[in-house]
Amino acid sequence: MIYLIGIEHLIQYNGPVPPELLEEFKGYLAAKIKELNITLISEEFNEEFLYDVFGATEGTAETAAEDAGISHLYCDPDASEREALGIPYYADVMDMVKVRHGIKEKFIMDSDLRKQVERETSLEVKKFWPVRERFWLDKLRGRLSENILFLCGHEHVMGFSALLREEGVAASVIEEFWRGDIFSDYGKLGLR
């Protein structure tokens, strides 16, 4: 069985999230590991993002898995895998959208235009989500008989759970958006 937890990606590493919230999340994961007899924590993340992009020194779920004595697996494609799958990065998509609008500046001063570019970029990026979600499933294929805790961005929870069910994989959403009450407004974290 795959148990899904929707998250805000900031909780996946020791970055801008307050340490007490990271500890709360690790405790939550520890409780779920025991409650659901989890043998593997897997997540929409990869080591390149963790260390090279975010400059983190610790992955939250990886640490929780180590503490519980169970396996951990990063499932999101790295740069070479993204290239092979034809999945562009968000920044590259945004650059393409800006070109469509004739925008040459790095920062768009007009807030309405900036929001429009962000909306269009988001819609373009979402077109690649099914490819990424299938990649996650393929990474898990050899372990589908286990009880797996899978962490993914909260916007992926319903799509990924639908894919799992379509493929005959038992799946249950146990948290659509962990602490959405906090992460839905970065101001509550002091990040604005």
Q: Token digits for 52?
A: 């090279």
d(CA 153, CA 50): 15
pLDDT on residue 117: 94
- pLDDT of amino acid 192: 55
51 in Cβ contact with 45 (< 8 Å): no
**Domains assigned to the chain:** 2-84+136-189 (3.40.1010), 88-127 (no CATH)
Distances (CA, A) of 137 to 100, 102, 141: 34, 38, 6
Are the CB atoms for 5 and 32 separated by under 8 Å? yes
pLDDT (tens place) for every residue of the chain, 192 residues total: 999 999 999 999 998 899 999 999 999 999 999 999 999 999 999 998 888 877 888 999 999 999 999 999 999 999 999 999 999 999 999 999 999 989 888 888 889 999 999 999 999 999 999 999 999 999 999 999 999 999 999 999 999 999 999 999 999 999 999 999 998 877 667 665
